[in-house]
Amino acid sequence: MAARAKPKLAVWKFSSCDGCQLTLLDCEDELLAITEEVRISYFLEATRKAEKGPYDVSLVEGSITTPHDIKAIRDVRKNSKVLVSIGACSTAGGIQALRNFASVKDYSRAVYAHPEYLDTLTTSTAISDHVRVDFELRGCPINKHQLLEVLGAFLNGRKPNIPQYSECVECKRNGIVCRMVAKGTPCLGPATQAGCGTLCPGTDRGCYGCFGPAEGANTAALAARLAHLGKDDGEIGRLFRTFNANAEAFRKESQSHG
Partner 1 sequence: MPGVDDPKTVTAALDMAGLDALIAALAERGYRVIGPMVADDAVVYDEIASSADLPAGVGDEQDGGRYRLRARGDGALFGYTVAPQGWKRLLHPPRQKMFAARRQDGGFAILPPEPAAAPMAFLGVRACELAAIGIQSRVFGDEAAGDPGYRGRLARSFVVAVECAEAGGTCFCASMGTGPQVEAGFDIRLVELAGHDRHVFLADAGSAKGAEMLSGLNAPPAPEADRAEARRRVSAAAGAMGRTMPAATARRLGEHAEHRRWADIGKRCLSCGNCTMVCPTCFCTTVEDVTDLKGEHAERWRTWDSCFSIDFSYIHGGAIRNEVRSRYRQWITHKLSAWHEQFGTSGCVGCGRCITWCPVGIDITEEVQAIHADGKGR
CB 131 within 8 A of CB 64: no
Residue 177 binds to partner 1 (criterion: CB under 8 A): yes
Among the listed ranges 65-73, 81-89, 111-119, 164-172, the one in contact with partner 1 (CB under 8 A) is 164-172
* Coil vs helix vs strand at 100: helix
Distance CA 253, CA 104 (A): 22
Q: Contacting partner 1 (CB under 8 A), which of 221, 232, 252, 258?
A: 221
| 133 vs 217 by CB, closer to partner 1 | 217
Q: How far is the CB of 12 from partner 1 (least distance, A)?
A: 21
Residue 223 binds to partner 1 (criterion: CB under 8 A): no
| 131 vs 176 by CB, closer to partner 1 | 176
Q: Contacting partner 1 (CB under 8 A), which of 120, 169, 235, 238?
A: 169
Residue 176 binds to partner 1 (criterion: CB under 8 A): yes
Residue 189 binds to partner 1 (criterion: CB under 8 A): yes
Q: Contacting partner 1 (CB under 8 A), which of 163, 231, 235, 238?
A: 163
Residue 186 binds to partner 1 (criterion: CB under 8 A): no
| Spacing of C-alpha 203 from chain mean position | 22
Interface of this chain with partner 1, residues 1 to 30, rule: CB under 8 A: 30
- Omega cis (within 30) before 186: no
| 121 vs 207 by CB, closer to partner 1 | 207
Q: How far is the CB of 155 from partner 1 (least distance, A)?
A: 6
Continuous segment of H or E residues that includes residue 25: helix 19-25
Distance CA 4, CA 228 (A): 59
What does the angle CA 6 – CA 10 – CA 11 come to, to the nearest 5 degrees?
Answer: 140
Distance CA 126, CA 138 (A): 11
Residue 112 binds to partner 1 (criterion: CB under 8 A): no
Distance CA 193, CA 99 (A): 24
**Residues 6+ away with beta carbon under 8 Å from 189:** 166, 167, 168, 171, 180, 201, 206, 207
- Interface with partner 1 (CB under 8 A), residue total 47
Binding site for partner 1 (CB under 8 A): 30, 33-34, 36-37, 148-149, 151-153, 155-156, 158, 161, 163-166, 168-169, 172-178, 180-184, 187, 189-191, 204, 214-218, 220-222, 224-225
